[in-house]
Structure 1
Amino acid sequence: MPLRSYRVLDLTRLLPGPYCTMLLADYGAEVIKVEDTKLGDYSRWYDPKIDENSALFHSLNRNKKSISIDLKTEKGKEVFLKLVKGADVVVESFRPGVMDRLGLSYNTLQSVNPDLIYCAITGYGQTGPYANIPGHDINYLSYAGLLHFFGDKETPPKVPAAQIADIGGGAMPAVIGILMALIERKASGKGQFVDVSMLDNVVYWMQTILPEYLAAEIEPKPGELTLSGGKACYEVYETKDNRYLSVGALEPKFWEAFCKVIEKEECIPLLDAPLHIQHQLKGDIQKKIQEKTLQEWMIEFAEVDACVAPVHTLEEMTRDPQVLARQLIQSINGHLNIAPPVKMSNTPGHLRNKAPVLGEHTETLLKNCGISIEEIEQLKGNNIIN
């Protein structure tokens, strides 16, 4: 596995950080989840549960180990610093300053391990006027200007069903930053601080929206962007049975094929028509699509390249032949999980172990750090470890 020689200490909770370290663990890194001695990661306690932990926790924390330490105590800090000496990466998602107040700042950890790569995932980054304010996915999307486009002229912005800023703006850039830092370390021999801001990375996502504004300073309106409701060729239409069909016929050849199947060939020259005509087109196409059920339309489009797809429910997605062929849902110990997505011919990712019980590996990991059984028992007795 490509990351088999790396050890990661994961102090994160909930979604962005655990998603980042899940990816690293799925491809071989030894990820040690450092949790407190009481609640641990809050996502353990969500519903629905699989055994004593939540389905979400099991999905995000498979292939990891768990050690439970009270980092607010001096002895707990000492134990953590012993782990840091043998680590390649530390990932945390506290607000700026929290690790400093614990006495475990980047500078402190680097003094123990100069090769260490330290990744901090935060809402707004380590600097700037928003650095210390709280936030969630919806707030980062709002500040970035992206949520503004999740609606149209008649409706307010809608909350996305998936956490765009948490995963696309936090977890994935953190993985990329960590891997880049590991590559750089091979050349320079030095570790570094990786500052990942979810707001920064959502702005970076807006490559199909922002460059046009920066060039012309013309503010587009919700519902007018090509890829978010501006064109009839890129839209969702309701079928006769109250299901939905997505159309992504952006290119002329796909648009022509689509129009021929729905018997609206007069629409072919109107692919790039002005906005007011696009709205008329949508109305005409909607009337046509409403004449047949989703299944009937999928039969019509089965042998046609038109970029048309059914809007699946989760049940339909898990039974879809493409999802099955790519083995996107796999089992660990009888429980279904989302499988590692990047297919590698020589070093693929694997679902190896289910998520750990809180503190499951504490004793083993401390023994590996050279801490005696007597000291481990003393730490347990003082509630410094669990």
Structure 2
Amino acid sequence: MTGDRPAPGTSSTGGTAAVPGTLAELTTFHLGGPLPDLTVAHTAEDLEDFGRAHPLDPSAHGDPAVLFIGGGSNILAGDSGFAGPACLVATRGIQESAHGTRTLVTAQAGEVWDEFVAWTLDHGLSGLEALSGIPGTVGAAPVQNIGAYGCEVAELIESVRVFDRVAGQAQRLPAERLQFSYRNSLLKRAAAEFGEPRYIVLEVCFALERGRESAPVRYGQLAAELEVAIGQTADTAAVRTAVLHLRASKGMVLDPADHDTWSAGSFFTNPIVARDFVLPDGAPSYPVHDPLTGVVDPQVQKTSAAWLIDHAGFAKGYGLPRADGGPPAASLSTKHTLALTNRGAARTADLLELARRIQAGVHERFGIVLVPEPNLVGCSLDSEG
């Protein structure tokens, strides 16, 4: 088990730190109002206790009664905050064990994702290197089925241990039961069904290869950065360095001094449309693979949300004009058209207004509805305010 890093809620000297009072303190957008009822879970047992104290009624639908926060990198929270019970997932710990030709690595949900990826490479394991630099926690990775540079986390997950708030007990879900698809999973679908998480992720088990040779490089931009052909492998450390460089060039590596990173990364998912949908001239088309089997779905295709945003007239740095003539409070990143950013003094309402403008513009121009990727807490794109 690891135990050399202080968890959120503790200081580096072992003392107790102040519990954050607002969502703005806990989200990478630096936005969101008060959190008057926040619990910090330092162990998996703490998480289970919170789940038992706040069971989920299967018949209840509507506004979420509880909120779970990990790294805060996938949350756009309302200016009014969240009045109900909230839980900050601050669990830590990593274990590894041999399993045939692979190594099983189990990480607690509160582990910082990029620190975990670095840990696996430092311990001579390969598979996660293309997912370097993604903000957030290990527990959020399977919910969203995070992915980048041709790799999805679903390909490496062996199982996820969760606490089911409906059943009131913990259980282990193997990968085949998690129903992974592009930026989606059983965990995310269940949360959408009930309006809040049914399953609290306690830990995630990954099946990784031992060695310092990467998985085959699948993404053209990464292959060019590494100077290898698509399908070739490279040194895992070199892949991590290249990915971090590419992400930083797009403002996708967190930096408190860079407002281009005051975001949730990609705000809209890449649209998946019918195979016979006629894409605009020049728009890229990608196959959609089943993340577990690799089989291509012949009925659909995926295109680029960034391309659609750019070609609908929303350039890098685009923001809505302010009445006083000052610079926009919220804008597209100056490095990448897929990130909506807080320029330092924005309110959540400013981000929502910008998102609605872009969503409407893309739909009017191309007939495609962009779907937001972050979880919207106490706010909505469907209504003003």
Same fold per TM (> 0.5)? Answer: no
TM-score (norm 2): 0.30
Structure number with bigger Rg: 1
